[in-house]
Homo-oligomer: A and B are copies of this chain.
Amino acid sequence: MLLATLQGGPAHGYRIVELLRERSSGTFELAEGTVYPALHRLEREGLLLSRWEVVSGRRRRIYRLSRRGESTLARRRRQWFELADAMKEVLA
């Protein structure tokens, strides 16, 4: 979900949480204690790149997808829909 949110363009952690809440119509309310460690993990794995920015006195870490992140997102998106289809069969 974090990777997908960044496909629309770079964003910082706090903003990613907002975008995710908006785009899911309030369904996904990720806690900060979930998101920040997850972003660090994704960067360590080479799927995200980050740079620091200061906007009106406040520092932000801006994340964007790396090339590997993009292809990983594409793969995981396919995996998700496969899982969702299987789930639909199981729940039917």
Contact = CB atoms under 8 A, between A and B. Distances in A.
- Interface range, A side: 20 to 34
A39 interface: no
Interface SS of chain A: helix
A28 B90 CA distance: 10
A28 B25 CA distance: 29
A86 B27 CA distance: 6
A5 interface: yes
A87 B27 CA distance: 9
Contact of A87 (B1, B86, B89): B1
8 contacts: A1-B87, A4-B90, A5-B90, A23-B90, A24-B86, A27-B83, A27-B85, A28-B90
